[in-house]
Structure 1
Amino acid sequence: MVSSHYEKITAADGGVFDAFCAVPETGPAPGVLIFQEIFGVNDNIRGLAERLAAAGYVALASDMFWRIEPRFERKDESGMADGFERVHQLDFQLAGSDITATLAHMRAMPACDGKVGGVGFCLGGTLAYLFAATSRVDGEGPNAAVSYYGSGITGMLGLAEQIECPILLHYGDRDPYIPAQDIDAVEQAMAGRPNATVHRYDAGHAFSNWDAPSMYDETSARVAWDRTIEFFDEHLRH
């Protein structure tokens, strides 16, 4: 039986922010950080955390907009303008620091066995890439990272050489927010990396988000999720 609650995480600069946590019935278990879409830590993100916990992972989804509007959340396409407004205010350097604080917090949790991966969607897809490239706690980075349609990754390809863990990237070939040439550039940057895999789907943006009906693509979402769980099983359980 999965249980859930909120954790309080202390930022490097002394602030405190919330993170939704879902815990599997038995433990300790590997941990997975979840990085939110522009809609915040909403029903979709909490639901994904619970699905990860049901698959045997401790899931922790931190509030990345806490410095702008704590506990901000919107549900679907109707909240996109509000979400983009928060993204434009987001300081990615501070966000990276908060992600590292979340990694440290997860590794210190009794429910976590010490191995930690991360998965992010939309804005969070970019943050998952940033997590893989820059988050280090006592010199140790994450054990695996999964990015779903991170539109900001093409602007951060210079960080690819810093990625030490296996990374899996999902993209929709009909994404109106990520041009095909941007996905091509990510594929080219990852082509020579032994632990990097890029999958493309006949889908648009946010195809995994069942709370955004015009974007959700059930078939692509299921295939991508199965690949994500298999990836975590391979890299966090061995």
Structure 2
Amino acid sequence: MSQNDVTTLTVPVTGGDLPADLHLPPSGQGPGIVLLQEIFGVTGYISGRARDLASQGYVVLVPHIYWRLGDQVVSEAQDGLPEAMGLLQRLDWDAAVADASAALAALRERDEVQGPVGVLGFCFGGGLAFATAAATLPQGAGPDALVSYYGSALPDLLGLAPQVTCPSLHHFGLADDYIPQDKVREIEDAVTADGRDATFLTYAGAGHAFDNPSPLFHDADASEQAWVATGQWLAEHLPV
């Protein structure tokens, strides 16, 4: 994972200031991406993916969605799962969507951002990205593109699918213990209905969170295939 310039800034939101990490590409400017965390917080993995995207030419903002819960970071090993699930249960979902939307608006306003702005999320962040894309925002304030990796909340958010008007890319493993294949197909039907500009990719044998390098989750082949596909899709929809 490549190095890039990163600074921590704050975004004013209801109830306080949302901390967020800004990763700049080598050129110092480019299209923007808001990157949304998994249930474990802003881990080294999430920061690494932000650096990867920055190295491709994107200005990446990583909001610390758990800031209202003490901005915790939890181990991605088996023994960290109960704590991470506990944090998720305590999370105010509506506030999280509002915070992600505020991060999107703040990124748009930055001088470094030249061109469109998208949102990309993993697991919990994949569902949050979807909800953010569906949120009622001022004209032109929503994301220009959405990438959702195995969005864990998507089965409960399908009623919002008609409100997601930007192009979207979805990744799901077909051996996901949390989202079974029938639910994956239900999600696919919803996000691709009515001629929506949605690309839906699945990976045989891959489980949930297959992009996460933790041995608990990682599927090297699916991770590589999905990341290459993501880069190609972003090059089309958020060209550098």
Q: State the identity as a percent.
A: 37
Secondary structure in 2 matching 1:168: strand
Q: In structure 2, what is the equivalent of residue 194 of structure 1?
A: 196
Q: In structure 2, what is the equivalent of residue 69 of structure 1?
A: 70
Shift of 1:14: 4.2
Q: Deviations over 1:76-109 (max 9, x none)?
A: 1232111110100111111111011101110111
1:169 aligns with 2:170: yes
CA RMSD of aligned residues (A): 1.5
Secondary structure in 2 matching 1:205: coil
Instruction: Quote the Cα distance in structure 2 between the aligned partners of 1:34 and 1:20.
Output: 10
Q: Deviations over 1:4-45 (max 9, x none)?
A: 12121111x141021122111114200111110011001000
1:110 maps to amino acid: D
Q: In structure 2, what is the equivalent of residue 54 of structure 1?
A: 55
What pairs up with 1:134-153 in 2 under 5 angstroms?
134=135, 136-153=137-154
Task: Go from structure 1 to structure 2 and tell me whether the alpha carbon gap of 1:138 and 1:188 turns closer, same or farther (over 3 Å shift).
Answer: closer
1:235 aligns with 2:201: no
Instruction: Quote the Cα distance in structure 1 between the aligned partners of 2:20 and 2:146.
Output: 18
Secondary structure in 1 matching 2:221: helix
Q: In structure 2, what is the equivalent of residue 10 of structure 1?
A: 12
Shift of 1:74: 1.9
Instruction: Quote the Cα distance in structure 2 between the aligned partners of 1:137 and 1:65.
Output: 25
Moved more, 112-121 or 166-175: 112-121
Q: 1:216 aligns with which of 212, 215, 218?
A: 218
Task: Go from structure 1 to structure 2 and tell me whether the alpha carbon gap of 1:168 and 1:223 turns closer, same or farther (over 3 Å shift).
Answer: same
Secondary structure in 1 matching 2:199: strand
Task: Go from structure 1 to structure 2 and tell me whether the alpha carbon gap of 1:106 and 1:137 turns closer, same or farther (over 3 Å shift).
Answer: farther
Q: Deviations over 1:138-183 (max 9, x none)?
A: 5431110011111211111110110110011100111111111111
Secondary structure in 2 matching 1:115: strand
Secondary structure in 1 matching 2:178: coil
Q: Which runs of 5+ in 1 are unaligned?
A: none
Q: TM-score, normalised by structure 2?
A: 0.93
Instruction: Quote the Cα distance in structure 1 between the aligned partners of 2:137 and 2:174.
Output: 32
Secondary structure in 1 matching 2:186: helix
Shift of 1:114: 4.2
Instruction: Quote the Cα distance in structure 2 between the aligned partners of 1:15 and 1:138.
Output: 25
Instruction: Quote the Cα distance in structure 1 between the aligned partners of 2:48 and 2:38.
Output: 13
1:134 maps to amino acid: A
Given that 1:100 and 1:135 are in contact with CA atoms closer than 8 Å, whether structure 2 keeps it comes out as no
What pairs up with 1:119-158 in 2 under 5 angstroms?
119-134=120-135, 136-158=137-159
Moved more, 190-199 or 98-107: 190-199
Given that 2:29 and 2:57 are in contact with CA atoms closer than 8 Å, whether structure 1 keeps it comes out as no
Shift of 1:75: 3.1
1:93 aligns with 2:94: yes
Task: Go from structure 1 to structure 2 and tell me whether the alpha carbon gap of 1:17 and 1:138 turns closer, same or farther (over 3 Å shift).
Answer: same
Question: After the TM superposition, which segments of 4 or more aligned residues of structure 1 sit over 4 Å from their partners?
Answer: none
